[in-house]
Amino acid sequence: MLFPTLSFGLFFLGVFTIVWAASGSNEWRKILLLLASWVFYGAWDWRFVALLIGSALLNWGSAELIWYNRDAPAGRRRAIMIAGITGNLLILGFFKYYGFFVEQLGDVLRSVGYARDLPLMQVVLPVGISFFTFQGMSYLADVHAERLAPARLLDVTLLMSFFPHLVAGPIVRGSDLLPQFEESPRLTRDMASMGLVLIVWGLFKKAVVASELSTGLVDPVFFDPAAHSRLDLVAAAYGYAVQIYCDFSAYSDMAIGIAALLGYRFPLNFNQPYRAASLQEFWRRWHISLSSWLRDYLYIDALGGSRKGFARQCVNLMVTMLLGGLWHGAKWTFVIWGGLHGGVLALERIWDRIRPPSLPRLPRVLGILITFHVVLVGWIFFRAESFDAAIAYFRGLGRAGADSAVLTPLACALIVFGMAIHFTPADLGQKLALKLRLFPAWALGLLVGITILIIDVMRFEGVAPFIYYQF
């Protein structure tokens, strides 16, 4: 069930009505939200609802054990946490990486002349598994560090299953959402107006900008780079940068808006990432819930961050980004993408150290241009089907010829639009919401209806799944 479809629209109308009608009892409200979330997830594959429940049970049980042993030696509590996290990693590893690692192992064995038939299986990837396992792991780490008290089974299950963030984030941490589950929420006009702005804006970015660029430009060029001119390849690379931003940020915007209409507050996940003047700044603006997760739980908690010296800090950055790349999927192109980001992040740190104080700092505009193009190179690896396909793409950029078979005035306009929205005031949506909250319901209802109608007129036939569903 995709957000920008009528199926989801009708589902949400039902949930919105029933859940607010049941708000007299917070317990019933949460039970209804949980059932709705399972229906939402079950629309992909009912079998994986059991996995979701099993995963919630694992994390709830592990957190209870950690808390029960809070006066026991630290080693025991740590061992329970590690066991819980290992359980999560085993689930993720089996569904997401089993095939990849068995294939790599087979290649290694063949290369040393020890070819064997390894037990290959076609494992179906449950939608959103990377998101809910990361959420479970951070819950355990927070309970272990006593940043969070363990929550009841219903709340933990709802935390992990809550449908707005379930399949493509943002990764909402227990510390953000669990306290909100403790009492019946209140829907304010602020939440409702901003929620509607986010939903309609997200719908436009996904259904019009991302879908149009994907279908008309990016997909055909990345499918066969050798058959396209240099101009097409350049345009498709810029097109993909805009597409992935409009696709993924659209999901986050809609998720935050939907949660707001149900009375819950989700954290910001994107903040105009292409206006970043360094890669470090980029990661404070792009997929903020993942980058802050990786920073807090992997880079600082597990690897030690910058506490073990400068050289180790650079290694930690690299390891964090390599694993961050692998989080996106079991492909070498993701690892290379992560390695590129980790390498440039480390270089930025090194340059900060060795830069002579007399040397003037780079003008911000130049920093933005360089950072964007580093990100763009990374996106080519991220989007390419394989390492060879990415290399073929880069080779094609050196080819002569400026004829284009796929570039249209509309695609150009959407690329320019997708970049331009990064340089508008960051609080434009909030200012709009402040004005809209004063509208009478009938006027805003008509305005929302007309805007959705216009978007529906412009949308590409059919809705492609969100890029981050596969992660």
Which DSSP symbol is given to 96? I
Stretch that binds another protein, among 125-133, 219-227, 323-331, 434-442 (CB under 8 A): 434-442
Tell me how far CA of residue 338 lies from CA of 69, 109, 125, 182, 247, in angstroms. Answer: 38, 26, 21, 38, 20
Alpha-helical (H) ranges within 384-440 are: 387-396, 409-420, 428-436
Single out the segment in contact with another protein by CB under 8 A; choices: 104-112, 126-134, 185-193, 299-307: 185-193
What's the gap between Cα 234 and its chain centre?
Answer: 25
Q: State which residue, 92 or 158, has the beta carbon closest to another protein.
A: 158
Cβ atoms 181, 433 nearer than 8 A: no
Nearer to another protein, 79 or 231 (CB): 231
| 401 contributes a contact to another protein by CB under 8 A | no
Closest approach of another protein to the CB of residue 255, in Å:
11
153 binding another protein? (CB under 8 A): no
Dihedral angle computed from the Cα positions of residues 379, 280, 267 and 179, in that order, rounded to the nearest 10 degrees: 130
Check the CA dihedral 274-216-226-229 and report its sign. negative
Is there binding between residue 86 and another protein (CB under 8 A)? no
Pick between residue 163 and residue 337 the one whose CB is nearest to another protein.
Answer: 163
Residue numbers 289-318 binding another protein by CB under 8 A:
none
Distances (CA, A) of 331 to 248, 261, 335, 464: 20, 37, 7, 22
Q: Least distance in Å: CB of 304 to another protein? A: 24
Instruction: Name the nearest CA neighbour of 23 among 231, 137, 184.
Output: 184
Q: Which is nearer to another protein, 133 or 193 (CB)?
A: 193
Q: Label residue 146 exposed, middle or buried (CB < 10 Å: 0-12, 13-18, 19+).
A: exposed
Q: Which of 1, 2, 16, 220 binds another protein (CB under 8 A)?
A: 16
Stretch that binds another protein, among 90-98, 107-115, 150-158, 176-184 (CB under 8 A): 176-184
Q: Name the DSSP letter for residue 270.
A: -
Give the nearest distance from C-beta 100 to another protein in angstroms: 33
Q: In this complex, which beta carbon is closest to another protein, that of residue 96 or of residue 155? A: 155
Cβ–Cβ under 8 Å, residues 232 and 405: yes
Cα 393 to Cα 380: distance, rounded to the nearest angstrom:
8
Residues annotated as catalytic (active site), given as ranges: 328
Structure tokens at 268: 């910001």
210-269: which residues touch another protein (CB under 8 A)? 212, 216, 253, 256, 260-261, 265-268
Nearer to another protein, 270 or 299 (CB): 270
* Residue ranges in contact with another protein by CB under 8 A: 5-7, 13, 16-17, 20, 175-176, 179-180, 186-196, 198, 212, 216, 253, 256, 260-261, 265-268, 403-404, 407-410, 427, 429-430, 433-434, 437, 441-442, 444-446, 448-450, 452-454, 456-458
